[in-house]
Structure 1
Amino acid sequence: MDLCATGDLPMPHVRHLDEPETTKAALAIEVEPGVPGSWDDIVAATPAPIPATTTDRWLRLAPKRLPGERVTIFLRGMSGEPELALHGSVMTGPSPNTRIDPYSIFSGASSYQGLATEGPHPWRDLAPEDVYPCLLVLMPHYEALPVGRLAKDETACAVLLERLRRWAGEQGLRGIAFEYLAPEAAPLTNALRTAGWPVVEFAARCDLHVTWSDFDGYLGTLSSRRRVRVRRELRALEESAVRVATRALRDDEPELVDLRCQLVVKYGGSADPAKEASMIRRLRCCFDDDAITVVTAEREGKTLGFGVFVQDGETWMPTLAGADYTDPNSRLTYFATLFYKPIELAPERGVRVIPYGLGSWEAKQLRGCVAAPLYGAALRLDGHI
């Protein structure tokens, strides 16, 4: 397989295909292994809005999350410069991660995780070998969207889809899957619908938009019942002598690694201290020290729970969490470290959004998050959709 084959803010000006310097005929697809050194330049040319997690350092933070061989898909204009780009991977078979594996999701096997529960499930009656090898279009932080100057141009996205389908067939791929298409990818999602792909609603992404200037202001955005509940939770922590504070991320964090492993095991995973320690090292490598904040809940010198946040511009991204589930005093530390303390600190740090992502949708919305749908689409390349 030759992966290098070619084949409410004011919106900025978006270039369109009918502008003189760009024509459909001049657009050519190119697929390259890995992430190019020019990736951040392409991202910078993307019309807003665009998530902070699309840049190269966020892609490098989770290098093994996507199964298969990572690729970058370009749509180049007459000058040879990329007008559009997508990030993804070529998978030779199914992945054990059923939150990512295309066959599991598009056959309906991942519905138990709350993914694509309503369907349609276009691969329900197929076997894995019918759709692999498969091109998966996805970024490591569970989002897919085009980047580049024409990322918001639905016609350009349609051209990309047509070229991509032709390229994938020439490479002998049996399937193409787009997963977790973000709200910012609306032109691409619309192009998929227009081209006849079955577009599936996967789940919702929860974002907390910071509109308050202090914690009382945040509480004022909640229902009276929820305000009482939050104050009760914080009072219970104080009465238990649990102190919530912030600190920097250290070179060596054995206590955080242990708590992280406990959380992974609680939700059905396997503890891997080396993997968790490696993630901490990558955080320190990819981001400046002052961009990383550890929020801890401690009692008598012992850490009961924690959250790690990374600030990228006006976005404050939760990246790691953990708790000591052997200690009953850790019961209320999750929301204290992942929500209430960051919510208190966000305004003074210039944060405008905290992306809380997937899962626990009701609990997040009760605490002020706004849910936006994420979509997916899959195509079997012999023409059977």
Structure 2
Amino acid sequence: MSVTVKVCAVPSLADVAAAEWDTLAAPGGLYTSHAWLGSVEREPGAGVEYFLACRGDRLVGALPVYDVDVEYNPFYARSRHLDLLGLDGGWALAGSRRGYRFELPAAADGDAGMDALLAAARNRAEARGERGLLFPFVTTRTARRLWEHGAAVALDGAEAAVVTEGASFEGYLQNLSSKRRIAVRHEFSAFRSAEYELDVENLEDCHQEAAPLLGQLQRKYGHEARDEGMREYLAGQVEMLGKYSRVFTARRSGRLVGFSLMYEFGDVLYARAVGFDYAQTGKAFEYYALCYYLPIEYMHRRGLRVLHLGMETYQAKVARGARLSPLWAVALPLPSAPRPEVAPADTSEWLRRFGRRALPADEWQQPWTSAWEAPAAWEGAR
């Protein structure tokens, strides 16, 4: 006897048990977790409703939908994603507003729950005079699921990850070209020779020291950043995500001069922030050591499989063994509307720039993308 799926909406993740949510959201990783989305919920500028699909007393699907008044992050501006899709008008923002990655939390047997969930969220959009749901930065698996419900899809960028499967640092090196192995060994040797005092710390214990270093990095790259604002940001991270934090630190005579902030969630280490005292660093490849090499050694000790490096600076990441997975902007219209007409996503430039080793074809080649040439034609891509 089948059990009917029921959908309800709650105004806060405080109304959902963390263990129940994370059991459902585990395949999506940190950026779909109760702790991460709870931290997003506390940010100013938007309200949120969480649609929950339940079969009996079991949660089988979930979807956050946001009412955005002010968006402080230009990468999450609705206009940016609508431009990628060639669309306009009012669309409700669904998925997440932070993290540059979203995967729909759904049980393995939750197809009926997902159907009911999307129907309820689209009914809400229709009642508010919106054209449908707009999902930024979703994974291929989620994009495929939404496409099957009539969504339009456009390329929104890519995320980088180094998959080590828990290998030692030497094992990691074996997956690089001989030229890159030499370069990485040189970088890590130079860093070791600098004789910093190294540790892996909890964010709660070092966030006050780390904040000015994060501010230095932000200002170096042209962003307005007050040290006090950085302290507030990191203090918020401590409160919501502190138990997952792993801070790789470099010190001189006890004084923090460089750090990378990462979160350990499941079998993945997620890179989130980095900072330096530029008067004391910059000559020993500190960035690569703190963001790649020390974390990879830590992953080996902990049995972690993946170092998630996020978006941007793709060339440096691919050079150090990362693979790139596409992220998609998705517009799911109201049930009464046809699929929006969007030109097939052309991903050939990514293939030309990064080569087949860095781009898993099963993610980049989809029904909404232009076909790549036959493999023999792109064997030589670098």
TM over 0.5: yes
1:50 aligns with 2:28: yes
The match for 1:99 among 75, 88, 91 is 75
Match in the other structure for 2:117: 160
Q: Mark the runs of 5 or more structure 1 residues left unpaired by the alignment.
A: 1-19, 109-120
Match in the other structure for 1:278: 232
SS in 1 for 2:307: strand
Structure 1 position 343, deviation (Å): 0.9
1:334 aligns with 2:287: yes
The match for 1:177 among 125, 134, 155 is 134
SS in 2 for 1:375: strand
Match in the other structure for 1:343: 296
The match for 1:146 among 98, 104, 124 is 104
Residues 257, 281 of structure 2: 8 Å contact kept: no
Counterpart Cα distance in 2 of 1:85 and 1:66: 22
Counterpart Cα distance in 2 of 1:60 and 1:220: 39
The match for 1:87 among 40, 44, 64 is 64
Structure 1 position 228, deviation (Å): 1.0
The match for 1:295 among 243, 248, 255 is 248
Counterpart Cα distance in 2 of 1:150 and 1:211: 24
Letter in 1 for 2:277: D
Structure 1 position 336, deviation (Å): 0.9
Letter in 2 for 1:131: G
1:307 aligns with 2:278: no
1:40 aligns with 2:15: no
Match in the other structure for 2:216: 262
Residues 204, 242 of structure 2: 8 Å contact kept: no
SS in 2 for 1:178: strand
Match in the other structure for 2:53: 75
More helix by share: 2
Residues 157, 311 of structure 2: 8 Å contact kept: yes
So what's the TM-score if we normalise by structure 1? 0.76
Counterpart Cα distance in 1 of 2:213 and 2:25: 40
Structure 1 position 48, deviation (Å): 6.5
1:56-93 Cα shifts (integer Å, max 9, x gaps): 2222344455841022012344x36543111231224x
Letter in 1 for 2:300: P
Residues 270, 307 of structure 2: 8 Å contact kept: yes
Residues 226, 366 of structure 1: 8 Å contact kept: yes
CA RMSD of aligned residues (A): 3.1
Pair 1:48–1:152, CA change in 2 (3 A): farther
Letter in 1 for 2:90: V
Counterpart Cα distance in 2 of 1:253 and 1:162: 43
SS in 2 for 1:346: helix
1:162-192 Cα shifts (integer Å, max 9, x gaps): 3322221113335421112124xx2x42342
Corresponding residue pairs, total: 338
Pair 1:161–1:66, CA change in 2 (3 A): farther
Counterpart Cα distance in 1 of 2:235 and 2:17: 23
Structure 1 position 27, deviation (Å): 3.7
Structure 1 position 259, deviation (Å): 1.0
The match for 2:2 among 13, 21, 34 is 21
Q: Mark the runs of 5 or more structure 2 residues left unpaired by the alignment.
A: 341-382
So what's the TM-score if we normalise by structure 2? 0.76
1:276-299 Cα shifts (integer Å, max 9, x gaps): 22333334334566x533222345
Match in the other structure for 2:182: 228
SS in 2 for 1:49: helix
Moved over 6 A (4+): none
Match in the other structure for 2:380: none
Counterpart Cα distance in 1 of 2:192 and 2:295: 17
The match for 2:86 among 122, 130, 138 is 122
Match in the other structure for 2:363: none
Residues 165, 306 of structure 2: 8 Å contact kept: no
Pair 1:236–1:320, CA change in 2 (3 A): same
Counterpart Cα distance in 1 of 2:156 and 2:198: 35
Letter in 2 for 1:69: G
Match in the other structure for 1:352: 305
Pair 1:82–1:237, CA change in 2 (3 A): closer
SS in 1 for 2:104: coil
Residues 209, 354 of structure 1: 8 Å contact kept: yes
